[in-house]
Amino acid sequence: MKVKEEARLQSRGRGRGWWLLLAGMAGALTAFFADPERGNARRKEAVDRVGGFARHTSRRAEHWLRGVRAQTRGWSQKVTHLVPARINLDDNTLRDRVESELFRDPEVPKGNLNLDVAGGRVTLRGQLQRPEQIRQVQERVASLPGVQEVRSYLHLEGTEAPNKAEVRNLSSLS
């Protein structure tokens, strides 16, 4: 029983220090602002500073909110236009777009590729070093807006082009 009572008395003593500290701070602030010589100027300066802080914080909040609105507007536009509309481009424009997309990548050998565009159909011819390059080129071209079909006669270096092999097979049958 004694232990509980001592603990209770000790816990009461802990809170008194905070109250004394708060009372001391309140007294110091009152003396600071109620000073007969400088109190009026200090009060006016405090009001000015608090007002300036409020205005500054308000402007920063407006600026931040404008940025958030712009970001959400951009995200909504991205979501709205996830799937590009079917674009009907003339063949020359489509060819330029395909070339610019393909040849932008330094991994794609520019001198080894030839492409033709007719009616939204892109025909790819040429030699590449690796099979994954052929697949990447075909996928890239097929993903472009305006491309309706991709015909690929791409082949690995040292192998025969697919369209030539078909012709040879047909001529050997006759």
Tens of pLDDT, residue by residue over 74-116, are: 999 999 888 766 667 889 999 999 999 888 888 888 788 899 9
Domain coordinates of the chain in residue numbers? 2-79, 91-173
How many whole angstroms separate alpha carbon 115 and alpha carbon 95? 8
Please say if the pLDDT value at position 73 is more than 80: yes
Please say if the pLDDT value at position 63 is more than 90: yes
**Among 31, 29, 9, 27, residue whose Cα is nearest residue 19:** 27
For residue 166, what pLDDT is reported? 64
Tens of pLDDT, residue by residue over 10-29, are 666 566 788 889 999 999 98
Tell me which of 7 and 139 has the higher pLDDT.
Answer: 139
How many whole angstroms separate alpha carbon 52 and alpha carbon 56? 6
Contacts of 93 (CB under 8 A, 6+ apart): 146
Here the tokens at position 154 are: 């791409």
For residue 160, what pLDDT is reported? 79
Burial (CB < 10 A; 0-12, 13-18, 19+), residue 101, is middle
* Strand ranges in the chain using DSSP code E only, listed in sequence order: 113-118, 121-128, 149-156
Mean pLDDT, rounded, of the chain: 86
In CATH, the number for domain 91-173 is 3.30.1340.30
How many whole angstroms separate alpha carbon 124 and alpha carbon 93? 16
How many whole angstroms separate alpha carbon 1 and alpha carbon 9? 13
> Any idea what the Cα angle at residue 47 is, between residues 41 and 50, rounded to 5°?
135
Half-sphere exposure of 100 (CA within 13 A, CB side): 7
Tell me which of 159 and 11 has the higher pLDDT.
Answer: 159
- Enter the DSSP assignment of 117: E
Helix (H, G, I), strand (E, B) or coil at 118: strand
For residue 96, what pLDDT is reported? 93
